[in-house]
Amino acid sequence: MTVLDSRPELPREGDGRRHDGQSDVLITDSGVSMSDVADLGAGRGPAWLDEWLASGAADVVAWRRHLHAHPELSRQEHDTTELVAGVLRSVGLHPKVLPGGTGLICDIGTGERCVALRADIDALPLQENTGLPFTSTNDGACHACGHDAHTAVLLGAAMALASAPELPGRVRLIFQPAEESMPGGALDVIAAGGLDGVDRIFGLHCDPRLEVGRVGTRVGAITSAADMLELKLTSPGGHTSRPHLTADLVHALGTVITGLPALLSRRVDPRSGTVLTWGAVHAGQAANAVPQDGLLRGTLRTGDHHVWNELEPLVKDLVQSLLWPTGVGFELEHRRGVPPVVNEAESTAVLRAGIEAALGEDALAGTEQSSGGEDFGWYLEHISGSFARLGVWSGEGPQPDIHQPTFHIDERALLTGVRVLTHTALAALA
C-alpha cells in the first residue's frame, strides 16, 4: 500500500499547477484528485503548527482518502497500521505495534509528564453507498463511523508535534484497533502498557450533527455502556390446537419482548438513561406448530456506571420471573460490552482550553449524552481524560448519521481536528 506525498512540487498529470503555485489536487497511487481544503484555524499558531499545516494539510487529506478507500475490519487493520507506522518513522519516530499485530503506540518528546491522544483505526462491516471517488474498494467494509478521519487527524497532529522545536513533555499517540468489536481494542492497548506513565488521555469522534469548525464537549457521561443480550428458549413443541399440552414458546418470547423493557423501567433509575432494544427474534416456520426453540437478541445500554454494574444479575432475575409461569426453558447470555465514557471535569477544562486556542471561543459547543457505546471508556477506568465530538457537517444539505452507508464528512474538519489535538496536548502539558 502506498500513499504518495501530495505536496505541490510533485509532478501531476497534465502538470496540474495553478498559477499561484499551490496544489489543487491530491496525488495517490489511484490517481484521486481533490480541491484544496481550507484551514479554518490558520494563523492561530504556534508558528510551527501553522507552518506544518501550510505544507502538510494536503497530506492529511491524502491519508484520510486512502484509508477511506481501503477500510479494514476490527483486528484486520494490518495495512492501516503499516501506513501509520511508515509515516511516523519518516520523521524519526519509533512506533511500537501492539502484540496482536494491528494498532500501535508511539511517544513524541521527552520528560516525565505524558499526555495521550487516541484514534481508532478500524472500519465497519457495511457496504458503502456514498458515490465518492475514493469510495471503499473492499466489499462489505467501509469507514461509516469516521475512523479514517480520526486516524488522519491524529497522524497530522503527530507530524505537527514532531516538527515543534521543543515540547514541554511527552505526547503518546495511540492508534487503537478494534473499537467496533466488543469489548474493544482499548483493552489491548491497556494490556500492552499503553497507559503506563500517562497523566491524561484525550480523543475526538466525528459528529455529523455539529457544523465543521465546532467541537462539542461535556463533563460527565458522554456515551453509554453497551451490553449484548442473547436469549435462547426451548419447548417440547406441539400442535397449536393444543397449547395447554406443551409450553408455548412464541407466547413466551412475546412476554419477554414486551415485559423485560417494562420491568427494567420500574427497577432502574429512569435518570440513568437505561434502554433495552430488541434487534432480532427467530422462532418457528409453520403457522400450526408450536416451535421447539427460539432466539432473541438485543442491546442493553445505560449512561450510569453504577447501574451498569448491577444490570447483569437484575436482567437474569427478571427473565426468570417472566418465563417461570410459561414452562419454557431458557439460556441467557449477557455479554458485557464497554463502560460509559465519563469525562472528568479538569480534563474537560483542558480540552476546552485546547479547542479555544485552536479555533477560538466560538468553536466551543455543548453536546448531549449518547446511548451509543465507545470503548474509550476503558481508558477512563484507569486515568483521567475527556472525549469530544468533532463537527463534520458542512452546514448545508442532509446530515447522514454515523453507521450509515451514506455517511461522509466535510474534510475541513480534518485540519480543525489536527489543531484541536495539538493544542490540547500542549494545554495538558503546560
Is the model's pLDDT at 12 over the cut of 50? Answer: no
Is the model's pLDDT at 126 over the cut of 80? Answer: yes
The pLDDT score that the predictor gives to residue 302 is 95
Residues 36-87 have pLDDT tens digits of 799 999 999 999 999 999 999 999 999 999 999 999 999 999 999 999 999 9
Verdict on whether the full-model pTM lies above 0.95 = no
Residue 173, helix vs strand vs coil: strand
Q: What percent of the chain has pLDDT over 90?
A: 90
| Whole-angstrom Cα Rg for the chain | 24
Residues facing 230 on adjacent strands = 297, 333
The pLDDT score that the predictor gives to residue 34 is 52
The pLDDT score that the predictor gives to residue 25 is 35
Single-letter amino acid, residue 290: V
Whole-number Å distance between alpha carbons of 92 and 154: 17
Residue 217, helix vs strand vs coil: strand
pLDDT band of residue 398 (cuts 50, 70, 90) is confident
CB 356 within 8 A of CB 430: no
pLDDT band of residue 193 (cuts 50, 70, 90) is very high
Q: Is it true that the peptide bond before 183 is cis, omega within 30 degrees of 0?
A: yes
The pLDDT score that the predictor gives to residue 399 is 87
Assign residue 178 a region (left: φ > 0; alpha: ψ between -120 and 50; beta: otherwise): left
How large is the average pLDDT for residues 380-408? 95
How large is the average pLDDT for residues 88-112? 97
The pLDDT score that the predictor gives to residue 257 is 98
How large is the average pLDDT for residues 273-288? 97
The pLDDT score that the predictor gives to residue 8 is 35
**Helix/strand/coil percentages in the chain, nearest 5:** 35, 25, 45
Q: Looking at 18-27, 53-62, 285-294, which range is the least confident one?
A: 18-27
Residues 356-372 have pLDDT tens digits of 999 999 999 999 999 99
Whole-number Å distance between alpha carbons of 200 and 194: 12
Whole-number Å distance between alpha carbons of 322 and 325: 7
The pLDDT score that the predictor gives to residue 93 is 98
Is the model's pLDDT at 32 over the cut of 90? Answer: no
Give the DSSP letter of residue 383: S
Whole-number Å distance between alpha carbons of 383 and 159: 25
Q: Looking at 76-85, 192-201, 226-235, 392-401, which range is the least confident one?
A: 392-401
The pLDDT score that the predictor gives to residue 5 is 44
Is the model's pLDDT at 120 over the cut of 90? Answer: yes
The pLDDT score that the predictor gives to residue 36 is 78
Is the model's pLDDT at 217 over the cut of 60? Answer: yes
The pLDDT score that the predictor gives to residue 6 is 39
Is the model's pLDDT at 325 over the cut of 60? Answer: yes
The Cβ of residue 116 has, within 10 Å, a number of other Cβ atoms equal to 26
Whole-number Å distance between alpha carbons of 120 and 103: 9
pLDDT band of residue 2 (cuts 50, 70, 90) is very low
